[in-house]
Amino acid sequence: MSAEPRRARLGRLAQRAPLSVAWALACMIGCVVIARAAPARAETSNTASDTLAAVRERSELVWGGDIQGGEPYVFEDPRDPSHLVGFEVEIAGALARELGLKRARFAEVQWSNLVPSLERGDIDVVLNGLEDTPERRARLRLSRPYFVFHEVLAVQRGAPYRSLDDLRGKRVGTLNQTYALELLQGRPADRAVEIALYEGQEEPYYDLQVGRVDAVFLDHVIAARYGCPLAGVECLPGDQPRGTYVVGLRRGDAALAGAIDGALGRILASGELRRILETWHLWDDAQKGLASAHGPADAPDAYSAAPAPSLSRGQIVLFFQGAAVTIVLSVAAFAIAVPLGMLLAATRVNAGRLACVVATAYVELLRGTPVLLQLYVLYFGLAPVLRLGPITAATLGLGLNYAAYEAEVYRGALLAVPRGQTEAAAALGLGRWQALRYVMLPQAVRTALPAVTNDFVSLLKDSSLVSVLTVVELTKRMTIAAVEIRSWLGPGLLCAALYFAMSFPLSRLSRHLETRLENDPRPRIA
């Protein structure tokens, strides 16, 4: 082929590439503008009596919670997994009886989506360790409290830390959307800590055990069951900040809120609430104040129609930081996946039987199990023998998983190389591995390039799963912002725009490579 047509093709590609990138950036900027202009939250269309009337009509109270919260809130009975138990299960049942309903039905909702699901009308109330905080008071209508908790600071046994003030600049684990998180975020700059956010209640204490965090700050109910009993973990004594658990309702459900408050007052006065809490070893002197406590539902002024915040410039900057973390993770993971995938493919095609069996087992195991499960096993399961940091574990987990997919891509490309190529290499005196290196592999890489590019785009999006390892990448940043501004629309649009801006140029590159290979005028060896 002459140099002139090649230069012409390169020129056309150089012209198209900036246009593709410009289109992606234009779409991203447009979504940023829409995200900032979008209202933070649409007002609910329910009138004050709609939900209560609907609940009474169907004689059922639908309450939302997350089973992952575990004991003692709501969890599957070990003796009968089809049956749910927990102190909030019993409270929900007592409320339903007091309201004259036949039953209380549990609806499983991921913790981070409980409030949005309530606002959508999927559930009637939230009853799952929902804490009374100013942010929730501004967004929801809250019942009178049914439980008083206090925060507990847990550290490694023998550590020099005795309070949060001793942990300045240290890594402290907690759960998202909790009172503990608000307390940590509200600390002065000179006493600020590095916050590690977790999705589950056991994981932060496991990380504390192996030294990946310096402390854990959570409710005493959680600490007493998942943290304090662990070897090497010490729960510090002292009067930490207190809070209350409440039932969450939509802002317009004043009638249902009044009915719930009345029902809570009756089970408290009758002693049923105390009996439930004592059954689960939760009753203490702090609960005696429940009789005189009144929730925001009794104070209409608590529901002032203050405008919900919108995406700020600082939050948008954090989105770009999350996108940078996503790119770095994806590139590093793919740098592991590509050479390991080549090695696995070459082993399956060109090595002996035993090596081929091992490589095949690796590919089938990694492709046949979810990448999320692999991340959990790598980070938490192997922690006693392999203590990896969050970024390291995320990179290694994604890289090992995608190596299995790359192996199949390269294996198919190697098998597509005509047999005559290997025969010609043998006739020239090249050994099996020499033929693979100098003859087959260069041709296979050329054939596999479009599929490899597509896999990198997929890896870019799958990197959102590493948030379970406390890595704050783009999707995790979106969920944090959505909670802060009480809306998923704006942050979701911005997150989608950034993913699109990152993946669209790669998709165009993949398409160009496919087109170029399809139109390659050079003769192919039969």
pLDDT digits (tens, 9 = 90+) for 97-110: 999 999 999 998 88
Q: What is the torsional sign of CA 246, 249, 251, 253? A: negative
| pLDDT greater than 80 at residue 9 | no
Which CA distances in Å does 147 have to 95, 98, 152, 366, 468? 15, 18, 16, 45, 29
Q: How large is the average pLDDT for residues 1-29?
A: 51
Instruction: State the CATH class of domain 19-34+311-518.
Output: mainly alpha
Task: List, for residues 425-456, the tens digit of each pLDDT value.
Answer: 666 667 666 766 666 777 777 777 778 888 88
CATH of 50-146+246-303, one of 3.30.830.10, 3.10.28.10, 3.30.2130.30, 3.40.190.10: 3.40.190.10
Select from 3.40.50.300, 3.40.50.1820, 3.40.190.10, 3.20.20.70 the CATH code of 148-243.
Answer: 3.40.190.10
For 360-393, letters b (16+ CB in 10 Å) and e give eebbeebeeeebeebbbebbbeebeeeebebbeb
Domain boundaries, the chain: 19-34+311-518, 50-146+246-303, 148-243
In 3D, which of 394, 392, 404 has the Cα closest to residue 342?
Answer: 404
pLDDT digits 0-9 by tens, 59-93 = 999 999 988 888 899 988 888 888 899 999 999 99
* CATH topology match: 50-146+246-303 vs 148-243: yes
What is the structure's pLDDT at 38?
A: 52
